[in-house]
Amino acid sequence: MDEAGSFMARIQSSIVVPIMYRMVHTGKLPKFMQKKINEADKSKKELVARFLNMFGIDQGGSPWITKQSIYNQFYSDLVTKVQHGIDVPGTTIHVFYATKMGRKYEKRYWTYFKNPDIRRHNMQHEELFCCHSAEWVEEVKKAVEGDRQ
């Protein structure tokens, strides 16, 4: 990443990290986020509620999560360049792909990984994990068992 890109990532991080930290640390959503959730349809509200539940939102928060760890995660997501055609001998990349995210994400998986095992689900981002945990566990089991054969 060039210097300008790194600078922009630091700017974005300096804006987003304090909001995320306060939200995760206190367990309370900022008013602008709560307003957006209130405007969403029922299925979107359920998905968001379950996703926020993972971070302790409306349940006292997750005070052990530090501002630095949030920064590290967010910033590294912005600046880490992923090579194309990743292929590690003896390794299978399993992707639980939420098709409602759009085809561009599936294309991205095919770009980054040489031969990904893409498991399609007619869901939104993280919906399988957040809302259908038993099905998610079964998918993980199938992937691991398939790798053992």
| Whole-number average pLDDT of the chain | 89
User: What residues make up the domain containing 20?
Assistant: 3-79
Q: What is the pLDDT of residues 75-102, one digit of tens each?
A: 888 888 889 999 999 999 999 999 999 9
* pLDDT (average), residues 136-144: 93
7 & 67 share domain? yes
- What contacts 44, CB < 8 A, 6 or more positions away? 124
Domain membership flag for residue 54: yes
Residues 52 and 119 in one domain: no
Structure tokens at 121: 């689900």
pLDDT per residue as tens digits for the range 30-44 = 999 999 999 999 888
In a domain, 85, yes or no: no
Contact of 20 with 74, CB cutoff 8 Å = yes
Smallest CA-to-CA distance from 23 within 9, 10, 44, 37 is with: 37
The radius of gyration of the chain's CA atoms, rounded to the nearest angstrom, is: 18
- pTM, two decimal places: 0.72
- Mark whether 75 and 8 lie in a shared domain: yes
Q: How many domains does the chain have?
A: 2
pLDDT of residue 6: 83
